[in-house]
Structure formats: C-alpha cells, structure tokens
Amino acid sequence: MAPQRSSKRPTMKDVADLAGVSKATVSHVVNETRFVEEETKRRVLQAIEDLGYRPSAVARSLTTNLTQTVGLVVSDASNHFFAEMLRGTEDVLMPEDYALLVCNTAETLEREVHYLDLLLRQQVDGIIAAATSQRWDALTEAQMQHTPVVFVDRRFDGLEGPYVGVDNEQGAYLGTSHMIACGHRRLGVLAGFQRLSTMRERLAGFRRALEEHDIPVNEEWVVTSELSVEGGRGAMRRLLTLPDGPTAVFVNNNLLSLGALLGLKEEGLDCPDCIGLVGFDDHPWTTVSNPPLTVVRQPAQQLGQAAAEMLLALVNDEELPGQEVLLDCDLVVRESC
C-alpha cells in the first residue's frame, strides 16, 4: 500500500528512505548520470511515483550548470507576428524540456535592459531577443557570463552574435512591384518607426521597386509613425488629406494595415476602388476584411523555430553552420489592390 502523502513537499532523502537506497543513487536515477541496477532503479522510480516527488530544477542546475530555461524578449506581445514566433520557439524548446520566460519590452530600450538583467539574474541558459535598433548596454554582462544570445527579427548597429530574420527588403519589393503591376504609378508608404531595422529595410524595398520602374518617390507620401493601429490610422488620414495623393499605399506592418483600413473607412473611401493597399505581415483578420487584404507574408513560426534551434546549438557548444539565417517572404494576392 502506497504511503499517505503529506502536505510537505517530498525530498530526495524521502525517496531514498522509501526505496532503501542512498541519496546519491536517487540522484543517479533522476539525472541518468551513472548506471543503476534495474531492480534498484525500479524501486527508486516507484518511490518517486508514490511520493509525488519532483526533482528540483535549482538543485539540478548546480550539478549540470544549466537551468533548462530560455528567455524570449519581444517588443509587442499583443502583435500576432510575435505570437506566431513564440509558437515556433515553443515547438523546438518544449520537446527538449525547456521552460520559456517571455518578456515584453513595449519597444523601449529601458525595458529591454531591465529584462536582460532579470534574465541574467535568473541564470537562463540563453536568450532570444527581438531588440530595438539600439545597442544593449547590458550585453557586455551577457558576454562575460557566457550566456548565448540569438537576435531575431531586428538588426542594429554593432550587432554581435547570431541573427535570424526575413528578407524584409525583398518582401517589400515584391509587394510594391505588385501594386505597380496593377497599374499604379502614384505610390505612398506607411513606413513605421525608421529607428527599427525592419522598417528601414522594407522602405528600402519600396524605393527599389519604384526606382526599377522609373517612378519617382514622392517623399511627402512616405509617412512615419509608431507601430500601432492608431499610428496607422493617423498616418493614412494624413496621406488622404494631401492634394493629388497616392492611388496605392504599401503598409510596413500588420498593425499599421489595420489602422490604414480604419482611416479609409472614416473618410468614406473604398479599397481598392478609391485606393489600393498591400500590407506587410499576414494576420487572421486579413482574409475576412473588406476587401481581403493582399499581403507580404513572413514565416513567423519558422523564424521562432530557427532561432530556438540556433540557441540550443549554442547552449550545447555545437558549431553553427553560419552566423545568420535569412528566410524568404511570400506575396499573398487577395483583393485590396
């Protein structure tokens, strides 16, 4: 008959006493650090089940020097793109029995530094970071502690360490070229924050497409704003107030795209009859919007998977085939242009 469980958390000593073995033997069974006879191992495992014992991750970390935790730093946890990236990260880490600590920075450097310091104090095995375009002052501490950092989605000046991202410039080039192929020659862009590398790269792709088709860029139609629905709404309404404005607009981010559609609705304008739209980033709502939105889709889940795989390789002291992974984007043509 199994012993009655108490409210006190069982210890390794409790397991050893019930199984009639030493604490060292229990440790070898739990951590698989040494051969243990099958009969002895069976008694230990039965004692673990009877007591409801769970090995201490803290104690194990003292032995292995690993905490089985990874930090993920994102700029906007409410953004569908980062939610999909998180799913991809979990797909890789969960089978390896890793816990994931998610930190939301709200696009501020101060919160990034705070969370980096927090993750280092938690002694995570590694960090996946969608950083801003500024250098993390606390990175030197990560390097001193030999904590691997994989950067994802964003680059910045002085970037040191592995990077996983998408070809933003080519993706924006594809989307802008589609608008041109639809007959548009008066093209604007909702460009977002230009301090972010992703926004700069997408604007570069927009400019390249116009240059290749001998279409001048009207700088008045390049509108910057914060990356939010309200930012996109305001940016689109600014474009719509201009005399002889653009007939089509490329939008650098899914939150900006939603804001742009709201701005058009408030002005009583139809898309694509009055103005064409192509957005960067896919989202569940883009297929049911009126009209369904043509988008440049980036592989967010694969991005998270690739970053997690690269980080685990670093944690396990494996040699990386390269310091950069760059994934392609797809043009998904619907009815908005």
Per residue of the chain (337 residues), what is the pLDDT tens digit? Answer: 445 545 577 877 887 888 888 888 877 877 777 888 888 888 888 888 887 777 655 555 545 567 889 999 998 888 889 999 999 999 999 999 899 999 998 878 788 888 888 888 888 999 998 876 455 555 555 555 678 889 999 887 766 678 999 999 999 999 999 999 999 999 999 999 888 889 999 999 999 999 999 999 999 999 999 999 999 999 999 999 998 899 999 999 999 999 999 999 999 998 998 999 999 999 888 888 889 999 999 999 999 999 999 999 999 889 888 888 999 999 999 999 9
Non-local CB neighbours of 145 within 8 Å, separated by 6+ positions: 120
Q: Are residues 82 and 128 in the same domain?
A: yes
Pairing relationship of beta strands 330-332 and 294-297 according to DSSP bridges: antiparallel
Task: Give the SS3 label for residue 73.
Answer: strand
Q: Are residues 219 and 124 in the same domain?
A: no
H-only helix segments in the chain: 12-19, 23-31, 38-51, 57-64, 80-93, 109-121, 139-144, 168-181, 197-212, 229-240, 254-266, 300-315
Is 334 a domain residue?
no
Non-local CB neighbours of 208 within 8 Å, separated by 6+ positions: 169, 173
Is 7 a domain residue?
no
Q: Which two tokens stand for residue 243?
A: 């005399």
Is 61 a domain residue?
no
Is 2 a domain residue?
no
pTM: 0.79
- CATH code of the domain containing 120: 3.40.50.2300
| Residue span of the structural domain in which 46 resides | 12-55
Task: Give the SS3 label for residue 127.
Answer: strand
Instruction: Round to whole Å and give the CA distance between 57 and 54.
Output: 9
Instruction: Round to whole Å and give the CA distance between 16 and 9.
Output: 14
Q: Are residues 86 and 157 in the same domain?
A: yes
Non-local CB neighbours of 192 within 8 Å, separated by 6+ positions: 199, 202, 224, 225, 226, 227, 231, 252, 253, 256
Q: Are residues 123 and 92 in the same domain?
A: yes
Q: Are residues 151 and 181 in the same domain?
A: no
User: In the prediction, which pLDDT does 65 show?
Assistant: 61
Non-local CB neighbours of 133 within 8 Å, separated by 6+ positions: 154, 155, 156, 157, 195, 196, 197
Q: Are residues 200 and 288 in the same domain?
A: yes
Is 5 a domain residue?
no
Is 78 a domain residue?
yes
Q: Are residues 145 and 220 in the same domain?
A: no
Side-chain-side CA neighbours of residue 242 (13 Å): 17
Alpha carbon 177 to its chain's center: 27
Q: Are residues 260 and 186 in the same domain?
A: yes
Q: Are residues 87 and 161 in the same domain?
A: yes
Q: Are residues 188 and 259 in the same domain?
A: yes
Overall number of domains in the chain: 3
- CATH code of the domain containing 34: 1.10.260.40
Is 3 a domain residue?
no
Q: Are residues 237 and 281 in the same domain?
A: yes
Q: Are residues 39 and 71 in the same domain?
A: no
User: In the prediction, which pLDDT does 62 show?
Assistant: 46
Instruction: Round to whole Å and give the CA distance between 13 and 185.
Output: 76
Is 136 a domain residue?
yes
Non-local CB neighbours of 241 within 8 Å, separated by 6+ positions: none
